[in-house]
Structure 1
Amino acid sequence: MQGKTGTSRVGDVAARMVAGGVLAAGVAAGAAAGEVPDFGPHVHVLDPAMPGLQQRIDDIYAAQQPNHFGPRRDAILLKPGTYEGLRIPVGFYTQVLGLGAHPDDVHVIGDLRSTAFLDNDNATQNFWRGAENFSVTPTLGIGDNTLQWAVSQAIPFRRMHVRGNIRLNQRNGWASGGWFADVLVDGRVDSATQQQWISRNSRWGSWTGSNWNMVFVGVHGAPEGEFPTPGQRFTRIAKTPLVREKPYLFIDPKGGYAVRVPALRRDSVGISWANGATAPGRTLPIDQFHIARPGDTAKTLNAQLAAGRHLLFTPGEYLLAETLQVKRPGTVVLGIGFPTLRSDNGQPLLKTADVSGLTISGLFLDAGQADSGVLMEVAPPGSKKRHKTDPIVLHDLFFRVGGAAAGQVTTALRIHAHDTLVDHTWVWRADHGAGVGWTSNPAAHGLWVNGEDVTIYGLFVEHFQKAQVVWQGNGGRVYFYQSEIPYDPPTQPEWTSATGRGHAAYQVGDSVTRHEAWGLGVYSVFLKPDVVLDRAIEAPRRPGVRFHHMITVCLVDKGSIEHVINDTGEAARCKGSSNTATLKAYP
């Protein structure tokens, strides 16, 4: 059904933006008023009056729903207004973004949907798709005014208003992990078969469902119940200690495009945009950005950064011959539509200086044919500066080793900068697809942290061949961790560490005196017999090193995880005893 124009509420939008301090000198500069910047062919800017609107969206979905490891990327941008009777199915590498200053400036009356990719309603491979900054009334959903969002990893759902209910799986099929941030659901959230989930700074009428690991940070309406009671495996943190919401692209009242960069929030609860508010922050007109398109070289991009411009990456694949260098304080690097960076000549993809206020969001970093040592490095080794008042913030960064093609790297992400914030990341050594195997996509570590006082919300790291996460800096905090250990160790001797059989999924260094983590799930899917992991988590036993709400699960009939943390916690075995083990606190 073709979308129809509804009430634009331009006057209300303008008034809200002025009141919220959004309008700044020069905001409408860049593209002329009402003129769309040249975002390239895979950014689709839509408005309610466009003819054939439904067909445009359906054509994107037809290309992307089967595109598990293909090169195509798309961003669908919705101009402010009301879209009557519009269905928006979302496939791989597709991001749907509202262009209002407030989520309610774009209103879809119809449906937004993620449909299970695998047979039997199985959504455990529903990766790399997202929706941000608009509202949906799901009159054309799955019934009962309910939106179906059947997803697993790398699915940013941010700054959204669901004017009804939302279900996080499809019928009775499995789904495996997900992310809410700055989300309002007027009705019910049904997590159903979701294995794990993290919600940050959100609000809803009610929440139902729990399987392994559900974490709520700064959420209104977090469900009652307490880990590890089956059906009540909830971890509730009352306030989000420190966060800066992800930047978003929007259209100002004069028709100019700009990027809003929210300010830091401390000890926050609930959404940032309640009651029509515009949260504090700064607005960057689009003419302060270099709009990157596939074909841009690293030399071109680095020259733009050196000249003081921000970067807006549009959808597509970027083959880089040298490392992107982000050095200027306050620089914003924002990707829309899952832009994918890759290097095949052994060069890291992105490095930052040890400077304050950097924002790097919405990038997909793919390991290349030659080992670059690291895909992304936040500040150089040995960095000493403190950034407590203006930290480096990373949002929605997704790393992949193998899957689309053979790739390798020693460590995907290294963080040396103190006070860094990470707000949702999936770091994945592929377990299926092309170029996958113990010697085909070798990768030792997903994340290595040397910086002090690094905080991460929503840490997903999977299948690396040694410790998935290594934490050497003091003061680390992690809210939600999900990890499947590698499927494919050929034999136990080939997968043995200095501390015993296998490599821990989460390892805190012996010199660390302060570290705390909440809501950790570690799962085994060993494909070869006689392979086990002795300890899911390894950490020094000190008063300042604390873990809350841990679970291990054995998912196939081979192998086991013998202890939850160090030598504490029961075994998770698929034969002869429970396949699940829980531990409420350590020490």
Structure 2
Amino acid sequence: MQSKTGPRRVGGVAARVMASGALAAGLAASASAAEAPDFGPNVHIFDPATPGMQQRIDEIYAAQQPNHFGPRRDAILLKPGTYRDLRIPVGFYTHVLGLGSHPDDVHVIGDLRSTPFLDNDNATQNFWRGAENFSVTPTLGIGDNTMQWAVSQAIPFRRMHVRGNIRLNKDKGWASGGWFSDVLIDGQVNSATQQQWLSRNSQWASWTGSNWNMVFVGVRGAPAGEFPTPGQRFTKIDKTPLVREKPYLFIDAQIGYAVRVPALRRDSVGISWANGALTPGKTVPINEFFIARPGDTAAAMNAQLAAGKHLLLTPGEYLLTETLQVGRAGTVVLGIGFPTLRSDSGQPLVKTADVDGLTISGLFLDAGRQDSGVLMEVAPAGAKKRHKANPIVLHDLFFRVGGAAAGQVETALRINAHDTLVDHTWLWRADHGEGVSWTSNPSAHGLWVNGEDVTIYGLFAEHFQKEQVVWQANGGRVYFYQSEIPYDPPTQTQWTHAAGGRGYAAYKVADKVTRHEAWGLGIYSVFLQPDVVLDRAIEAPQAPGVRFHHMITVCLVDKGGIERVINDAGNPARCKGGSNTATLKSYP
């Protein structure tokens, strides 16, 4: 239910907001004077005085809301200032970014909204859109000072300040997963029908709603109750052990357009920008970036990277004929507007060296017609270096096999580098769209981890034909896992592990592993053919250092099911002949 008392102010941020009028005006004036680089035609930069702004935003939405698998990509950039009575509807491949050094430097008084793509208010296909680094007062929302953010996978919602309430679906329609990080909400979050959600380093006045799998890491204001109690299926980790927030494009008062690269945070709770503070880190002037636009080749980008430049990719599709090579320590690769990489010549899309401090954020990686083995590889096979003090960090990386066109790859993402941090990824073998069938978009695995002490916040992996995730090294930690196993095995015989057992585990920890821990895992079956089952949703060795917390399996259609949650533990989740849901609080 929505708040009836209106939004409450939280901490010192709201006090800063009330006193910031003169400062915001000064920032807006300096930002308006800042000269924008050539970001190309798919980046739309606005300030509060831009004529025809509402019409242009509406035109973007009219093109993007039905654009489920089309090529168009857009980034909407808002300069510092106050935008009164502005409505921002957000469709596919649309990325709305504030250009302030602080989220409150850009203030939209009006509405920011995601509306379900499917009929019956169904938002389970509301993918690939996002909002970052600004504040919203939802005076033109759905009522009661509430904004509607009906979304599912691959939806970055970062460094946002909602000066009111937020609802994560529309009316009674379904929604299927999402992401908050570094977010402040003055009022209430209503998760409503959301099936699962991860919130990291955020805070709000209150939270209502629970379905299958709600995970809170380093959050102020996490709700009372604990998994597996129905209506209270909450997984709460008090502190975020180690994270580096995603870099963001902004206008610096002295140097103009730049990218802020946040510093590592250890054992953190709440937002990184509280009390008006600038997020700790370093500022990199935009002239130290090569700004890539659709049509630029991998050779051109690699030459710039080799010469010492960082890389900013603008919205659009990039058909690569060779692999992007990121080799210099400390390099930042940042995409805005869902820049989409694809190769039809059998080449991996991105490979990195085994070096400190790489940051790769905001990329969309699409499998091509020829199997490249892997779409992205973090460090070469056999990587040895340790990166505990300055890890490689990946943010908002979204992988797709099929959907827009037939594609194939053995493994979407392979991580060889030790100590890597992953902050939100969706690895998806498409279950609908073009080029989709058991033989049209073959792909065995979403994620394969060979590196030690890899930590992932927000791991979404779905529909791959063998194990969705394989963990081969020690020290892995996962905070939130969401997975639908493949819909389309033609028969049980064609989906049976060679080592025995029906189907392939959605989450596999290799027998040699002695240290691994995961919190908040949801695994779901939607088999389209009869008499297909999965014996074990999770497979892991029985070792004192291998631990799982708060697991759920769900059978979603009237065929097949999942027999056990992990190894031989947990009840069946069957659509016929028993409960369609099974929970297990801990293992062992």
For this structure pair, what is the TM-score category when the shorter chain's length is used for normalisation? over 0.9
Q: Separation in 1 of the partners of 2:359 and 2:425?
A: 14
CA contact (8 A) 1:550 1:585 kept: yes
Name the structure 2 match of 1:510.
Answer: 511
1:303 matched to 2:303? The reply is yes
Q: Separation in 2 of the partners of 1:144 and 1:586?
A: 43
Name the structure 1 match of 2:96.
Answer: 96
Stretches of structure 1 lacking an aligned partner (at least 5 in a row): 1-5, 17-27
Q: Separation in 1 of the partners of 2:294 and 2:87?
A: 29
Q: CA deviation at 1:253?
A: 1.4
CA contact (8 A) 1:14 1:253 kept: no
CA contact (8 A) 1:216 1:222 kept: yes
The Cα offsets for residues 91-111 of structure 1, whole Å up to 9 and x where unpaired, read as 000000000000000000000
Name the structure 1 match of 2:338.
Answer: 338
Q: Separation in 2 of the partners of 1:540 and 1:510?
A: 5
SS of alignment partner, residue 409 of structure 1: coil
Identity across matched positions, percent: 83
Q: Separation in 2 of the partners of 1:210 and 1:89?
A: 26
Q: CA deviation at 1:82?
A: 0.2
Runs of 4+ in 1 over 6 A off after TM superposition: 13-16
TM-score by length of 2: 0.95
Q: Separation in 2 of the partners of 1:286 and 1:320?
A: 24
Q: CA deviation at 1:13?
A: 8.4
CA contact (8 A) 1:164 1:186 kept: yes
CA contact (8 A) 1:330 1:357 kept: yes
Name the structure 2 match of 1:555.
Answer: 556
The Cα offsets for residues 225-284 of structure 1, whole Å up to 9 and x where unpaired, read as 010000000000000000000000000114710000000000000000000001210100
- Are the structure 2 counterparts of residues 489 and 396 from structure 1 closer, same or farther at C-alpha, using a change threshold of 3 Å? same
Amino acid paired to 1:534: D
Superposition pairs for residues 476-555 of structure 1, below 5 Å?
476-497=476-497, 498-555=499-556
CA contact (8 A) 2:203 2:271 kept: yes
Name the structure 2 match of 1:203.
Answer: 203
Name the structure 1 match of 2:183.
Answer: 183
Q: Separation in 1 of the partners of 2:226 and 2:34?
A: 52
The Cα offsets for residues 33-65 of structure 1, whole Å up to 9 and x where unpaired, read as 621110000100000001111001000000000
CA contact (8 A) 2:27 2:105 kept: no
CA contact (8 A) 2:24 2:81 kept: no
Q: Separation in 2 of the partners of 1:138 and 1:409?
A: 43
1:378 matched to 2:382? The reply is no
SS of alignment partner, residue 44 of structure 2: strand
Q: CA deviation at 1:576?
A: 1.3
The Cα offsets for residues 300-350 of structure 1, whole Å up to 9 and x where unpaired, read as 000000000000000000000000000000000000000000000000000
Q: CA deviation at 1:8?
A: 9.0
SS of alignment partner, residue 410 of structure 2: strand
- Are the structure 2 counterparts of residues 483 and 8 from structure 1 closer, same or farther at C-alpha, using a change threshold of 3 Å? same
- Are the structure 2 counterparts of residues 38 and 188 from structure 1 closer, same or farther at C-alpha, using a change threshold of 3 Å? same
Q: Separation in 1 of the partners of 2:382 and 2:39?
A: 38
Name the structure 1 match of 2:160.
Answer: 160
CA contact (8 A) 1:361 1:397 kept: yes
Q: Separation in 2 of the partners of 1:403 and 1:15?
A: 43
Q: CA deviation at 1:585?
A: 0.1
Superposition pairs for residues 243-392 of structure 1, below 5 Å?
243-254=243-254, 256-392=256-392
Q: Separation in 2 of the partners of 1:423 and 1:14?
A: 34
Amino acid paired to 2:426: W
Amino acid paired to 2:443: A
CA contact (8 A) 1:33 1:254 kept: no
- Are the structure 2 counterparts of residues 14 and 470 from structure 1 closer, same or farther at C-alpha, using a change threshold of 3 Å? farther
How many residue pairs get aligned? The number is 569
Q: Separation in 1 of the partners of 2:330 and 2:55?
A: 40
SS of alignment partner, residue 493 of structure 2: coil
CA contact (8 A) 1:9 1:81 kept: no
Q: Separation in 2 of the partners of 1:11 and 1:570?
A: 58
CA contact (8 A) 1:217 1:239 kept: yes
SS of alignment partner, residue 60 of structure 2: helix
- Are the structure 2 counterparts of residues 296 and 410 from structure 1 closer, same or farther at C-alpha, using a change threshold of 3 Å? same
Q: CA deviation at 1:9?
A: 5.0
CA contact (8 A) 1:530 1:558 kept: yes
Name the structure 1 match of 2:578.
Answer: 577
Amino acid paired to 2:111: D
CA contact (8 A) 2:71 2:317 kept: yes
Name the structure 2 match of 1:117.
Answer: 117
Q: Separation in 2 of the partners of 1:204 and 1:406?
A: 42
Amino acid paired to 1:504: A
Amino acid paired to 2:166: I
SS of alignment partner, residue 176 of structure 2: coil
SS of alignment partner, residue 494 of structure 1: helix
Amino acid paired to 2:509: V
CA contact (8 A) 1:351 1:377 kept: yes
Q: Separation in 1 of the partners of 2:189 and 2:412?
A: 33
- Are the structure 2 counterparts of residues 443 and 365 from structure 1 closer, same or farther at C-alpha, using a change threshold of 3 Å? same
Q: CA deviation at 1:7?
A: 11
Q: Separation in 2 of the partners of 1:509 and 1:362?
A: 30
Name the structure 2 match of 1:241.
Answer: 241
The Cα offsets for residues 189-208 of structure 1, whole Å up to 9 and x where unpaired, read as 00000000000000000000
Superposition pairs for residues 71-150 of structure 1, below 5 Å?
71-150=71-150
Q: CA deviation at 1:377?
A: 0.1
Q: Separation in 1 of the partners of 2:455 and 2:514?
A: 16
CA contact (8 A) 1:14 1:252 kept: no
SS of alignment partner, residue 558 of structure 1: coil
CA contact (8 A) 2:27 2:80 kept: no
Q: CA deviation at 1:499?
A: 3.6
CA contact (8 A) 2:255 2:285 kept: no
CA contact (8 A) 2:397 2:426 kept: yes
- Are the structure 2 counterparts of residues 253 and 375 from structure 1 closer, same or farther at C-alpha, using a change threshold of 3 Å? same
CA contact (8 A) 1:13 1:101 kept: no
CA contact (8 A) 1:8 1:82 kept: no
Name the structure 2 match of 1:21.
Answer: none
Q: Separation in 2 of the partners of 1:138 and 1:487?
A: 39
CA contact (8 A) 1:372 1:409 kept: yes
Alpha-carbon RMSD across the aligned residues, in angstroms, is: 1.6
CA contact (8 A) 2:32 2:47 kept: no
CA contact (8 A) 2:27 2:81 kept: no
